[in-house]
Amino acid sequence: MTINCVLFDLDNTLVGIPDTWNYFDTLIQDVLNLDYKLSIPSIVERNSLWRSGKGFISILKRWDVSDPNDFWIKFDERDRKKRRKLIKENKLILYDDVIPTLKKLNNMGIKIGIVSNTPDFIIEFELDAFKLAPFFDKVLGLGDDQSICKPEPDGINMILEEMKCNPAKTIFIGDSEVDLIAAQRAKVFPIYIDRNKEKRKKFVIDPKSYIKITSLLQIFEIIKRPLEDGKFLAESIL
């Protein structure tokens, strides 16, 4: 059994956002403070939003946001404006290993896609800015339904069905535990890319259940490994 489908997260997997945590946390605070005139919840509360999946509604209502979908509309519009500015300033970066990796995957005949919590309309102008769109068979971002965001597996399941890919022959590459959890729930093999070469983070999930890499080009060492019952030996290849 061999890998014939590779799925990617977008932010900080293919395209780097400077000071990522502050970038997105500032967006939350701006929407709450400037758009809704609400008080800012604690940092622990704000962090919980990113792991909430389908639970985002209860969290936002706890913050006195009466219309959770409207919150995300305002969030995404602020995000769009900030990213356009970063692209113009050359601060939103395409990692050096992305194009070589995508070209090699295309040449090998492996299907490739993106599953991101970023809205489709933001993904489209990012891919256009970096001329990435032609490399991908399918791209799936958030539409109007926030409930499918990772760590929920819905997005991965949807793109697997559309691309006609077998989960047991698919790897998913992302930069966060949310990505790893979503991959596990969709029964595809999770790969964690650690571009900062940090020590293995203290994730909730078993460190033996995923492989850690520091460059996308390392996935070719993984792809050529034999699979046993649809699984790799989940060890770091570093």
Structural domain boundaries, residue 212: 5-16+93-223
Query: What total number of domains does the chain contain?
Result: 2
Joined together, the tokens standing for residue 59 give 């969290």
Q: What is the CATH number of the domain that holds 159?
A: 3.40.50.1000
Q: Cα-flanking dihedrals φ and ψ of residue 61, to 5°? A: -65, -35
How far is CA 94 from each of CA 13, 73, 89, 129, 142, rounded to the nearest angstrom?
Answer: 9, 26, 13, 10, 21
Q: Is 178 left (phi over 0), alpha (psi -120 to 50) or beta?
A: alpha
Least confident of 21-30, 123-132, 200-209: 200-209
Please tell me whether residues 109 and 124 are part of one structural domain. Answer: yes
Would 28 be classed as within a structural domain?
Answer: yes
Please name which of 232, 228, 229 lies closest in space to residue 212, comparing C-alpha atoms. Answer: 232
Give the contacts of 157 (CB within 8 A, at least 6 positions apart). Answer: 186
Could you tell me if 71 and 98 lie in one domain?
Answer: no
Of the two residues 235 and 15, the one the predictor is more confident about is: 15
Reported confidence tier of residue 204, pLDDT bands at 50, 70, 90: confident
The pLDDT value given to residue 146:
80
Tell me, yes or no, whether 71 lies in a domain.
yes
Largest CA distance in the chain: 55
Closest CA to 190 of 137, 158, 150: 150
In a domain, 230, yes or no: no
Tally helices (H) and strands (E) across the chain. 9, 8
Assess whether pLDDT exceeds 90 at residue 2. Answer: no
Copy the structure tokens of residue 37: 């005139």
| Boundary-marking domain end, from 63, 88, 113 | 88
Q: Which two tokens stand for residue 235?
A: 């060890």
Same domain, 39 and 124: no
**Considering only 39-43, 50-54, 214-218, which range has the smallest mean pLDDT?**
50-54
117/105 Cα distance (integer angstroms) = 23
* Average pLDDT along the chain: 91
pTM (predicted TM-score): 0.91
